[in-house]
Amino acid sequence: MASTSKKTTSSPSCCDSSATTPPLSIRRDAATTSSLVRQDWTDPVPSPERRPVVDSLPKPSRTASGTKTAIPVMLRAQTSHPLDPLSAAEISVAVATVRAAGATPELRDSMRFIEVVLLEPDKHVVALADAYFFPPFQPSLLPRTKGGPIIPMKLPPRRARLVVYNKRSNETSIWIVELSEVHAATRGGHHRGKVISSQVVPDVQPPMDAVEYAECEAVVKAFPPFREAMKKRGIEDMELVMVDAWCVGYHSDADAPSRRLAKPLIFCRTESECPMENGYARPVEGIHVLVDMQNMKVVEFEDHKLVPLPLADPLRNYTPGETRGGVDRSDVKPLQIIQLEGPSFRVSGHYIEWQKWNFRIGFTPREGLVIHSVAYVDGSRGRRPVAHRLSFVEMVVPYGDPNEPHYRKNAFDAGEDGLGKNAHSLKKGCDCLGFIKYFDAHFTNFTGGVETIENCVCLHEEDHGILWKHQDWRTGLAEVRRSRRLTVSFICTIANYEYGFFWHFYQDGKIEAEVKLTGILSLGALQPGETRKYGTTIAPGLYAPVHQHFFVARMDMAVDCKSGEAFNQVVEVNVEVEKPGEKNVHNNAFYAKETLLQSELQAMRDCNPQTARHWIVRNTRTVNRTGQLTGYKLVPGSNCLPLAGPEAKFLRRAAFLNHNLWVTPYTHGEMFPGGEFPNQNPRVGEGLATWVKQNRPLEETDIVLWYVFGITHVPRLEDWPVMPVERIGFMLMPHGFFNCSPAVDVPPSACELEAKDNDAKDNSVAKPLQNGVLAKL
């Protein structure tokens, strides 16, 4: 369910220098400029996949003698990168452009804006921007064309992609809007966008919105039969009632997308004077409600089973002073993390540099945090790409109780709600510690206004224990290096659950993806004396159903591939035991066996801890000092597969859960494993499971990894009233990518302090460490 607790701020003026990256100057000597900008216009046109951005180029001029002149060099760099998320002003322009394109006032008034995002440019456009528009100039990043690189006068205009729901006609449409100089538009008070295309997408329902959820709650609480049903349960104060409007999913033709539907779950607090009371402790069962979200009215209602409300559990609340009999722990001393000299990372707009890593931060309403253009600066080898784009693209939570209403609880939290739109503001000292750089996120709300979530993404450094250590037993001398990692994260709330999404970058070249699950359990009520084997009884009349959480990470890889190159392949590695015989006379031999995944159907793979199975993305043209191909390997963490039967209804929309790994060649538009619109989706296997049927070759191409990982949650008593954080994830680790460990040159830390500093009698004084981190004991 969407969260409505967002901090909304006014949109910054595009004329304000603080709202954009300051202009960057570019210096060239005459010889360099001449060699870079000249283009033989008689050359054949480059192939489309490698064609530079020429739409915005001026036509070459001719002198009086008819000689063609070079394209002039741009005098001023662009002020924003093509991958920067849309600003608040750009979102406003995009919305105004689409609304103005409505043929009638009625059509314009009925427009509801589900999503407005940056239409990300092609990869060669990103390479041009990285190479030329953002110094220092890096000609090695330019796309290679037959006639040499073209330096355009400006980047192509940014474009926005809008998903619009028409509340009057129940139609969903996709619009592409070209954005011109937005600062000039806002200054003049007129939109300066241009509609490039629009199309109605038939037979779909877009994600639900927080405004709809609030309206649904009000409609249900005002429905007389519902009020009468709650009165039977002893509840007359509707302020106590919580209505969570879950999407209906797709279980039969009754759920077809011809209607926009929700089946709410009902909960009830015990006292209206306590806004932080845990209302999820009292689920209301036995009431069936179906809401038409288009017309906002109850279309089905049945009070078919009177299940008493669970009694108010004295351990239900989680606010300070209300837990464990009202006594909070008092023996915890303050812990401070201070970087006296500031952080080691550098930030320019959305561009991040830390240690040898550099990348860009993006954000979308659906995925939340997106990591672009990940690269590692490797000495004389320069900037080495690792991945073009990393994000979490879907999340599915199926429940294992076959009873009403729990069998319908199989939320697609990204595709039906949006991870990014449900993110919230982070608090320093609580959600993040240390020296923090925050990034705000801008979204459109349902009616087209712009909302800003302040401090939505957190960037900071963390101490991560020992990186490596060795002691020579002969001399007693030891070397130890402290590990530090850079963490980028955001946290979202989907109804009762909280999810934290983290990308960690390490000094030894590793990238870790991690999801932290916490919040409150979604519960069910029981009849007196009843037990249920599909869950755990956690209080009288209250139980928590078993369920699973699945996440899908999409990784558009680019291991040692510059723009225009598609030289990656995927190899599966399994450790096998050598057969007894001459090669294994001691029966102790085992080895790593590699298998090239040659096609999409062959690359539908599952984890296997018994063989230490992992997968390597290799560059087919680049070798290390031993002659092996360079690569990055995906190392699974703990994982699972769906425990539902093959005919389970939710699997028709989530066929991608049937395997842990999928591999596809990069194709524009293949972004979401369950298709773009999983809400009430009647089509079986749409998305990833359909795309791979083409069985496209993978031996040397632009590789996209889809890694599905999950956790099976069998609730404990200790998960009530709060569920402590559980962590799952995976690693991307260099495998033959470097000639030796990048950890070799990590500087030693000041790990030895004077004895008096470690004396238990004097442990209150904080001492600075050599790495700039100060810890207070």
Q: What amino acid positions are annotated as catalytic residues?
A: 413, 497
Maximum alpha-carbon separation in the chain = 99
C-alpha radius of gyration, the chain, whole number: 28
DSSP code per residue over 666-685 = --TT---TT-S--TT--STT
Token pair belonging to 569: 């392949």
Measured distance CA(139)–CA(130) in Å, rounded: 9
The candidate with the shortest Cα–Cα distance to 323, out of 271, 357, 388, 276, is 276
Q: How far apart are CA 71 and CA 74, in angstroms?
A: 9
Tokens of 398: 């199926």
Question: Which candidate, 347, 226, 240, places its Cα nearest to that of 297?
Answer: 226
Quick one: tokens of 627?
């002659």
**DSSP code per residue over 133-185:** ISSSP-GGGSPP-TT-----SSPPPPEEEEEEEETTTTEEEEEEEEE--HHHH
The pair of structure tokens assigned to 37 is: 């900008």
Whether the Cβ atoms of residue 554 and residue 683 lie closer than 8 Å to each other: no
Provide the β-strand partners of residue 728.
515
Q: In what order do the strands lie in the sheet with 723-734?
A: 437-444, 450-471, 478-494, 497-506, 511-519, 723-734, 629-636, 614-623, 568-577, 590-596
Query: Distance (Å, rounded) from C-alpha 148 to C-alpha 144?
Result: 7
String of b and e for 733-758 (b: at least 16 CB within 10 Å)? bbbbbbeeebbeebeebeeeeeeeee
Of 507, 481, 470, 569, the closest CA to residue 738 belongs to 507
Q: Across the beta sheet with 193-201, what order do the strands follow?
A: 111-118, 159-166, 171-179, 193-201
Cβ atoms of residues 411 and 80 within 8 Å: no
User: Counting runs of H as helices and runs of E as strands, what totals does the chain give?
Assistant: 8, 34
- 3-class DSSP state of 462: strand
What values do phi and psi take at 403, rounded to 5? Answer: -85, 155
Task: Note if the bond before 721 is cis, omega within 30 degrees.
Answer: yes
**What is the C-alpha separation between 149 and 129, in angstroms, rounded?**
13
Side chain identity at residue 382, one-letter code: G
d(CA 293, CA 211): 11
